[in-house]
């Protein structure tokens, strides 16, 4: 993870600003050990927020604690109610309340189509995908809801270009991201006017460390930055850009700020312009 964007006056990773877009905001980022989640932590801190973290991986959690000792880190599985409750409690105890909840948890299926899925593995693969990509989001909102209502705060869920276009993942991944898009719509309707709910729908991302689906035996496979990946990502977007977690993080900053106080039930699309492109299946992300 690189340092924060120099345009915001930061000179190194994790520097906090006293008068940024999120000055005084209290945030919990779920799934913050790497990739987009870690970039959100850094960008929020640059913009003045106090941030707590829920992260499943003990090594990533230890690294966060070493690099950002003032960030409360809860080690736990975001697909369980207990871990989400513990992380919310840690944030509230540290900050006196909670204004922003961000969920960046996800797992990938590496473009497996229905014809490539054996019938006997669909049960497990479906449960794994929707437990991680959908239930973790719902449980994090449930745990944080009383505090977000009290502060009239906001929820930011991580969708994907896969929530809007085919070919950005396999059948299970695309379906799960459409479900997150549905959560944004349903929760925004239910929780208004006290809590705003929006999504961020990133395109293909450099440095994401997105892991494969255990139900398909892909748990040891990672969406790494292989040679030529940046060029491939850029080539499939109208803007010709390959975006990183740092790029996506500023969409979360905007939606968490008062500058978006009139927006709920929507999504920001940092994807290089996929809406004006012809989507196609990619065999190599």
Residues forming the active site: 173
In what helix (H) or strand (E) does residue 223 lie, and over which residues does it extend? strand 222-223
Q: DSSP label at 221? A: -
Q: 156 and 252 in contact (C-beta within 8 Å)?
A: yes
- Count of beta carbons in the 10 Å neighbourhood of residue 158: 25
- Structure token pair of residue 270: 């940092």
Asked, as a colleague might, if the bond just before 101 is cis with ω within 30 of 0, I would say: no
- Structure token pair of residue 11: 């000179």
CA angle 174, 29, 158 (to 5 degrees): 20
The residue behind tokens 């987009």 is 36
**Distance from C-alpha of 99 to C-alpha of 95, rounded to nearest angstrom:** 10
Close Cβ partners of 248 (under 8 Å, ≥ 6 residues apart): 36, 39, 40, 200, 202, 205, 270
- Tell me which residue of 163, 167, 177, 170 sits closest to 112, measured CA to CA: 170
**Distance from C-alpha of 13 to C-alpha of 2, rounded to nearest angstrom:** 7
In what helix (H) or strand (E) does residue 74 lie, and over which residues does it extend? strand 73-75
The residue behind tokens 């927006």 is 263
């Amino acid at each position: 993870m690189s340092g924060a964007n120099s345009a915001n006056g930061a000179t190194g990773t994790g520097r906090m600003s006293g008068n940024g877009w999120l000055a005084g905001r209290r945030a919990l980022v779920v799934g913050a050990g790497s990739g987009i989640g870690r970039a959100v932590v850094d960008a929020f801190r640059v913009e003045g927020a106090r941030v707590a973290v829920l992260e499943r991986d003990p090594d990533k959690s230890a690294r966060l604690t070493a690099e950002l000792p003032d960030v409360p880190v809860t080690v736990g599985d975001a697909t369980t109610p207990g871990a989400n409750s513990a992380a919310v409690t840690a944030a509230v105890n540290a900050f006196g309340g909670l204004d922003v909840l961000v969920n960046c948890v996800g797992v990938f299926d590496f473009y497996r189509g229905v014809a490539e899925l054996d019938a006997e593995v669909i049960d497990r693969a479906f449960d794994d995908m929707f437990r991680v990509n959908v239930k973790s989001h719902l449980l994090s909102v449930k745990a944080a809801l009383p505090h977000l209502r009290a502060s009239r705060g906001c929820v930011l869920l991580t969708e994907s270009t896969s929530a809007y276009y085919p070919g950005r993942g396999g059948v299970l991944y695309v379906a799960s991201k459409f479900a997150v898009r549905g959560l944004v719509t349903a929760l925004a309707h239910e929780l208004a006017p006290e809590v705003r709910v929006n999504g961020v729908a990133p395109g293909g991302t450099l440095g994401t460390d997105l892991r494969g689906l255990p139900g398909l035996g892909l748990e040891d496979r990672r969406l790494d930055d292989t040679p030529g990946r940046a060029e491939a990502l850029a080539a499939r977007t109208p803007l010709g850009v390959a975006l990183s977690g740092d790029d996506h993080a500023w969409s979360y900053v905007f939606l968490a700020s008062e500058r978006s106080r009139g927006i709920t039930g929507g999504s920001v699309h940092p994807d290089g312009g996929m809406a004006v492109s012809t989507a196609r299946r990619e065999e190599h992300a």
